[in-house]
Amino acid sequence: MKNICLILSTFIFSISIAKADNHNIKKDGFLSKDFKITKLTIIDDPSNKVIIINNHGQNNFDGKQKNCTSIDQVRNRVSLVGEEINGKKILLYNLCAHKIEGDMGLKWWFSKKPYEGKSKLDKRVEQNLELVERLVSLGVPRKQIFVTGHSCGGLTTLLFFSRHPNKAGGGIAYMQACFDRLSKKYKLKKVGVDVGLEKFKLKKPAQFALRAKYNKEILEQLKVPLLAFTHPKDPFEGLTSDWLDEIEGMNRIVISEDYTIDGKKCHKLGKKKTDKFPVKNGHQMDQATCFQFYNPIILEYIGSRI
């Protein structure tokens, strides 16, 4: 009964967010600066394009969700569209995974059964590989394709390069996370990371085991130099991300200790140009307009890989 109530409350919450936010993106394809979507057919002058693949976050671990993503999640990635690196122009492809479901589905999160089959994350990695191969077939050099992602999309990015190190030029993970609000729910700042994660293990052993499996795979197999952004006040994996520093070639950037970047308070934009909302959640720091402070670093990283 408790699980049913939790699922229902999550569903109602998701519906309320969808009604309050009507600038969601429901289709995949190339995104222009005004957020118009163009389907993938042909690419003009593909050898002189840099393709950034955007992997959005998820609102549950293994099930489907109503929308692909919101403009908030892609706004800063869109700001890179049209930039040139060594004469090669950047295009952004938003890859929708909201209709993908893992073999065990949404209910597994409330189960103690070990995961069997392919999770949604596994299938998202395969989805990225299929898109990369399609882009290559259209004439885009493999080294000019970059897999990136926010939250679960960030974890997808890390898993992609652990499994397919030579299939794309590079990747950027933003706030990698897909296993609930670990930092907040288990009070990691107060009790410490090890103690908090042990509580997570006792409460959700199957979910703990799958997270540990993915992290181990990334630690042991990821060899491609990647760029990663984390924030200590991210309620998800904010206080559990130090293990990324153990990966050879990983350039992990801790955005800040608070909600400022370069001494400026961070805001998110609303539906109107006059709307500005202060960021109060570290998981959303890569969605704030102030995050574009890092655009030169991102462009430098891309340039180093092509």
CA distance 294 to 65: 30
pLDDT tens digits, one per residue of 47-63: 999 999 999 999 999 99
Q: How far is CA 3 from CA 8, 111, 131, 142, 300, in A?
A: 9, 9, 36, 45, 47
CA distance 184 to 196: 10
Q: What is the pLDDT at residue 20?
A: 32
Q: What is the pLDDT at residue 164?
A: 98
Average pLDDT value for residue range 264-273: 83
Pick the CATH number of 23-305 from 3.40.50.300, 3.40.50.1820, 3.50.50.60, 3.30.420.40: 3.40.50.1820
DSSP E strand stretches across 58-181: 69-70, 84-85, 88-95, 145-150, 170-174
Confidence of residue 273 (pLDDT cuts 50, 70, 90): low
Q: What is the pLDDT at residue 14?
A: 36
Q: What is the mean pLDDT of the chain?
A: 92
Q: What is the pLDDT at residue 270?
A: 76
Residue 271 CB neighbours (<10 A): 11
Q: What is the pLDDT at residue 23?
A: 79
- Helix/strand/coil for 276: strand
pLDDT tens digits, one per residue of 112-128: 999 999 999 999 999 99
User: Is residue 210 predicted with pLDDT exceeding 50?
Assistant: yes
Q: Which residues of 193-209 are buried (b: 16+ CB within 10 A; e: fewer)?
A: beebbebbeeebebbbe
Which pair of tokens denotes residue 169?
Answer: 């030029």
Q: Whole-prediction pTM value? A: 0.91
Confidence of residue 276 (pLDDT cuts 50, 70, 90): confident
Task: Give the rounded percent of residues in the chain with a pLDDT score beyond 70.
Answer: 92
User: Is residue 21 predicted with pLDDT exceeding 60?
Assistant: no
pLDDT tens digits, one per residue of 217-256: 999 999 999 999 999 999 999 999 999 999 999 999 999 9
User: Is residue 289 predicted with pLDDT exceeding 90?
Assistant: yes
CA distance 69 to 58: 8
